[in-house]
Structure 1
């Protein structure tokens, strides 16, 4: 998502090693079979050479014909070859090959299931964004959807449903930009406020059908519904949390981001901004001072 290409499933190192081992075992078995055939033919040839052709007939060792010792020595090497193939590499054989093949099949099935689960999770978001874009094509767009938020260098935006930092100028900027507009948020973000923010229309996205809110707060069940509810606002804002940001990044026109130049521990994160889709159009840096414990920058991005 967000302009990044998904990596194509590939055979991993473990699977590749299994395939190489299987190929190696096949070669070893073929060589052993060839060795056995040559041993039989060679033994017959040696016996015939000594008894029929009388080659080395008068040469004996310990009172025995020399070809018996030649065959025994060759037999020793054949037995060593057999031991090396069937004992030293005891994991081989048809049963072993079938086991490895079964492992490959199981691993590929797991990969397919993971891909299916990812597609099932992303399908509603993709469908929602396509529906929204389709509606924009049918009629002239009259509003500019803007994402606004603050994120650390590691994209952390909050912990335990609370802000991680307090930056006076950031709060002032948020108030100035969103004042008089519709602000779209998830349920947890709304619950993080002591009370609804003044002079703004709150649109809360929740799956709960009986969620109770104060008068004036609009309840919807999807980002698409939230955008429709704010259609008369020339610039509605999406203010969080992490999952709502992720969905909004597909359809938003603009991002107003405060980038806090430190890493923080968090449990909610701002999605990565793909610079092939988003162009930075403004950047204002702020140093630390009496009211600000951290350096930060006000960044503006617009869709390319």
Structure 2
């Protein structure tokens, strides 16, 4: 059985001693979980259900976006689950499953449960094509899905005038006791003749951002994780901090930054508002143009 690894063989695994240390630290921290990311007051549900011509993206929550490009409806890491392990979902999805249009393509960044939820997939409308990391097709087949294509890093596939490129990330994956890193992880780039969008997936900061920038000269919008980074001594190999996410964005030379992977599930010690505040502070510190940072409310659509 193949075991996948990061660039430079960076390890994300931690010892039981590390886990106990984190648990002790967490008990000493008092976090206000009552303040959460708001729902968008003016959602464009009917507009996105009918849209087959304009480029749009809608934040559902966590790493889930509805991206409409070239007349194709794409979902990234679809998760509508009400719980993640012992933790309840902190915010309702920005759009319900019932409100979605028919989905043409689903892309999966990796197999962690907060990025791949099979009960959610069962609720999707349409008969989507699934693009998944190498090593994951057999799991989808066992679940009854046959329209599945797996890709390795730097491989690509065409559908509906869109090139789907699977690119590196620095992370790890596991769904059971026996499948540690037996499938890959990464990000997805959606490229047409008119524009390029980059869904980063789940990652720590790594030199792969520079490689991606070299291969894709013009990235219009990057969907970048900013949460689940605290404590950083534990999380840094697998979860990028808000400050390093800005560093990665500047290395990518992208036009727009859309933050994600914060405020939906309590996966680490930071809260959604904390992650967002640190991002805004770093953005101001680096004197980056305010109009290039697209902070979305839940269910908000940019067309």
TM-score by length of 1: 0.31
Larger radius of gyration: 1
Q: TM-score, normalised by structure 2?
A: 0.31
